[in-house]
Amino acid sequence: MAGHDPKPTALTIGGFLAKKPYKPPSWASHLNPIPSHTFSLGHLPTPIHKWNLPNLPEDTEVWIKRDDLSGMQLSGNKVRKLEFLMADAVADGADCIITVGGIQSNHCRATAVAARYLNLDCYLILRTSKVLVDRDPGLIGNLLVERLAGAHVELVSKEEYARIGSVTLADLLKKRLLSEGRKPYVIPVGGSNSLGTWGYIEAIREIEQQIQTGSGEIRFDDIVVACGSGGTIAGLSLGSTFSNLKAKVYCIVAVVVHSHETRFATY
């Protein structure tokens, strides 16, 4: 690409987009391997506040950690995982990122934006219905952001996705890009591998620090999150168990019964 500089040239004031050495919390220092660096991509710490829901049982308080406020285009939980994954990609000398997800995947949107910030190309394999595969997917929702960030979008039908699998699909694209002389780095669905999980181990340290610096005695008995690819709950569970937080961690799983119907179940 003309003028393309594969090395990230992010210039930053105040730490945003800076590469930082990573030191895990003491209670996680026995985990292996420990990531060496992160990129500062999220606007962290995100606030925690009391959520005054109606009709709560007596003696029950609900607090909410506002990870929706973790940034603009990068917002949500995926940015915490990407702080670790993108640092690894750059350390690997990657010049492009490959990742996979549903047609409106938040993870793919966040990855496309993070890649652009770090001056890396981004290739997205997006799962959609058979009839839409050969059409322009349009500029709706996250697709608009991905297009604005200059991501390359490849569509795959749900049937093909189920048959081939996300790992092989990413691997095939990786091989193609390697043959073109590129240096791709693959991030799995949802950014949920062992490295991405560190984002939510680190979030537990953030919560602990917020509790310590807060006024009054606050203790959380339970943490509840929505679950997709599982990295968020994996990191929270590890962190909560190893740290002094010791809250029980629950997730809500959306189970797709038919392609047009989603049932929610708690585990």
**Residues taking part in catalysis:** 105
Residues in contact with ligand PLP, shown as a per-residue x/- string from 23 to 62 under the rule CB under 6 A: ----------------------------------------
Q: Which is nearer to ligand PLP, 175 or 222 (CB)?
A: 222
What is the token pair recorded at 93? Answer: 């000398």
- Residue 232 Cβ vs ligand PLP, minimum distance, rounded to whole Å: 3
CA distances from 74 to 33, 81, 205 (A): 26, 11, 21
- Choice from 35, 42, 45, 228 touching ligand PLP (CB under 6 A): 228
How far apart, in whole angstroms, are the C-alpha atoms of residue 205 and residue 73?
24
254 forms part of the interface with ligand PLP (CB under 6 A): no
Q: What would the DSSP string read from start to end of 59-121? A: T---EEE-GGGS-STT-SSHHHHHHHHHHHHHHTT-SEEEEEEETT-HHHHHHHHHHHHTT-E
Q: Which is nearer to ligand PLP, 184 or 228 (CB)?
A: 228
- Residue 74 Cβ vs ligand PLP, minimum distance, rounded to whole Å: 11
Residue 241 dihedral angles phi and psi, to the nearest 5°? -70, -45
- Choice from 38, 46, 75, 232 touching ligand PLP (CB under 6 A): 232
Residues in contact with ligand PLP, shown as a per-residue x/- string from 102 to 121 under the rule CB under 6 A: ----xx--------------
Q: Which one, of 180, 215, 183, 201, lies nearest residue 90 by Cα? A: 183
184-223 positions binding ligand PLP, by CB under 6 A = 190, 192
Spell out a b/e string for 10-45, using b for 16 or more CB atoms within 10 Å of the CB, else e: eeeeeeebebeeeebbebbeeeeeebeebbbbbebb
226 forms part of the interface with ligand PLP (CB under 6 A): yes
229 forms part of the interface with ligand PLP (CB under 6 A): yes
Q: Which residues bind ligand PLP (CB under 6 A)?
A: 76-78, 106-107, 190, 192, 226-232
